[in-house]
Chains A and B, each alone.
Chain A
Amino acid sequence: MADKKPVVRPEYKNNAERLAALKRAARSTNDKLGLECVTMASDIEDTTRAPFDVLEIDTFIGGGIPHGSVTVVWGSAGSGKTTLGLALAAKAQRDGKLVAWIALEPFPKDRAKLFKVNLDEMPVIQCPQAEQSLDIIVDYARNKLVDVMILDSIHSLAPKGMMENSKGEKSLSEETMAILARKLSEFFKIAIDPIKRSNMALLLIGQTRIKLGIVCIDDLTGGNALKHNSRLTIHSRRGAKDDSPVKVTYEETGEKDAKGKPKKKKIETIIGFPCVLKLDKVQVSGSQKEQSVVNVPYYYESGFDLPADIKAEVAQEEAEIEAQAALEAPKEEKVVVESDGVGKNEYTPAMLVAEGFKKKRGRPSKKDKIDGK
């Protein structure tokens, strides 16, 4: 048998020299491939965020959904998923970004107008087949057409194999088990790279199904690929009825009490529901830890924004307190207040009032009610 020639591999004096050679080689591979694909980890740019403009949610997920990757929001029917998408679109347009909406469910035009989405600048894509809409996402990403893209919803995607059988006839008789999951798994293999390079934020809205087994639990439709390939997965559901935001009004009953004052009847009307968001998977920095929960009030009238009448009341209260502070301003005294053991801060009385107001403010719930008047 002929002896095999031993493979000659170059040797290096020390690790530092070897590392320098590796960096040089990396640069040359970039030139060879004609693609900026090899970088040192410290040179990778930080991810920018697309916020929802809802303070609670933005602080919860660390400043918004990440650009250049996929985010999934899923939950039961009527838990504020589409509204989240509209809030994202409206805020992105205010920031001068371009938004596209893939509507597989009927597009909520009236609600979009309510959230001040600029409908003239937002293309709404309605394709009958799943392949067409998924191709559009890849196409838009490759040509860097939009900054934010929203798909509503995953479960409504109907692949071609589901609509036609092998002979091209329309029928429901074909075996279509897990066809959407397989299609989505293929889609991510193709789309992940263009989405990253175009720095597009893709929000996928998903629905629930019940996973059968020993214990039946809610699960996301569309297979495992969605969970594997998303960087942020948020589960939304309706919270307990007791936490829902209420509006308190007083009505005169006409009767008088012992002191001669007119009796008032307290009426509480529910004006929304609590939207409970839970982080299923997090791979972004600055957010809350996995599986943590936040409770955001949702108003039927105005979504995640405060309703106009409550907003006006808050503004009025603010103005009143400012006026009061202006009266007290001339005789300024410095009050020393201890702030949680760290050190002593100096506050003026006006600042104290404002501080107290800040604590009292926030969104109304049953615990701290904002009176009707």
Chain B
Amino acid sequence: MDWLTKLEQARTEQKKSFILDIIPTSYSELDKALGVWGIPRGKIVEISGHAGVGKTALLLDIVAQAQEHGLNVVYMDLDRKFDAEFAKNRAVKCEDLLVFQPDATKPENTLKALEALMKANLIDLIVFDTISAYGDGITEILQGLAKNIAGTKITILLASQIRQSFEDPRDYNTPYMHLLNQYCNIRIMLKKIESIKHDSILIGKRIAVDVYKNVMAHPRTTEIEIYI
């Protein structure tokens, strides 16, 4: 056998066995700011921001990228605002996406169902929209998830709402901030800078992204443009 064909064979085999260690976010600036060119697999990532800033849009973009790379996604719709048409517009394959609408007052049931899926090696990405819908059960959920994803490549994405800080009214923080700070490996805050308009119709938003906690690289800030 020719050495060149041998090399080609080896390369194709390598490609087959290659496991993606990151999920690209489809925004190159954000990929760069995360330091590892995407969201690292096997980690817990939190995205927070004001109402209507584009948290759900960003989550769905990441879901679409994950599906493109052959990963199975579970979407935890805790806010009950999932719209299939909206998801389709952001290139999500709706027929392959599992949507979970659990009872937020019974976190232990949810955890059991997710554990069964995780142990059977069936899912790669779990998206929570939004984690703030859990009341006191948030501790159980985060503990259970952190236990189960150890040593696997299951990524967990949390969207989180925002509240006004009691100490400084100009400042904002997330509910359960200390708990989330413990469990999340990467924390991202979105802030709207301005809206992008074309012929006086809103077509997108320019958003300041603050990666203020990152275990993979230094914390960085950047700007992205999310189009509707």
Given A29-B116, A196-B101, are A40 and B135 neighbors across the interface (CB < 8 Å)? no
Q: A25 and B120: CB pair below 8 A?
A: yes
Distance from B207 Cβ to chain A, minimum over Cβ atoms (Å): 14
Contact partner of A42 among B95, B116, B203, CB < 8 A?
A: B95
Residue B80 at the A interface, CB < 8 A? yes
Contact partner of A19 among B85, B96, B151, B161, CB < 8 A?
A: B96
Q: Which of B151-184 contact A (CB under 8 A)?
A: 151-152, 161-164, 169-170, 175
Closest chain B residue to A29 by CB distance? B113
Q: A37 CA to B110 CA in the complex, in Å? A: 10
**Residues of the B chain whose Cβ atoms lie less than 8 Å from the Cβ of A186:** 135
Q: A186 CA to B132 CA in the complex, in Å? A: 10
User: What 1/0 flags go to A1-38 for Cβ under 8 Å of B?
Assistant: 00000010111100100110111011001001101011
Most A C-beta atoms less than 10 A away, residue of B50, B52, B95: B52
Interface size on B, residues (CB 8 A): 59
Given A40-B94, A285-B83, A292-B201, are A228 and B51 neighbors across the interface (CB < 8 Å)? yes
Residue A283 at the B interface, CB < 8 A? yes
Residue B25 at the A interface, CB < 8 A? no
Contact partner of A69 among B81, B162, B170, CB < 8 A?
A: B81
Q: A46-B84, A193-B103 are in contact. List 17 more A-B contacts (CB 8 A).
A: A15-B70, A19-B72, A22-B72, A25-B120, A33-B109, A37-B100, A37-B101, A38-B98, A40-B97, A192-B79, A193-B104, A196-B101, A213-B169, A227-B52, A231-B81, A289-B228, A290-B195
Name the 3 nearest CB pairs between A and B, nearest first: A227-B51, A41-B94, A281-B52
Could you tell me which B residues sit within 8 Å of A by CB distance? Answer: 50-52, 56, 70, 72, 75, 78-87, 92, 94-105, 109, 112-113, 116-117, 119-123, 130, 132-135, 151-152, 161-164, 169-170, 175, 195, 201-203, 228
List 23 A-B pairs, Cβ < 8 Å.
A9-B152, A15-B70, A18-B72, A19-B96, A22-B123, A25-B117, A35-B103, A37-B102, A38-B99, A39-B99, A39-B101, A40-B98, A41-B92, A41-B94, A42-B95, A46-B84, A68-B80, A69-B81, A178-B164, A189-B134, A224-B163, A228-B162, A291-B195
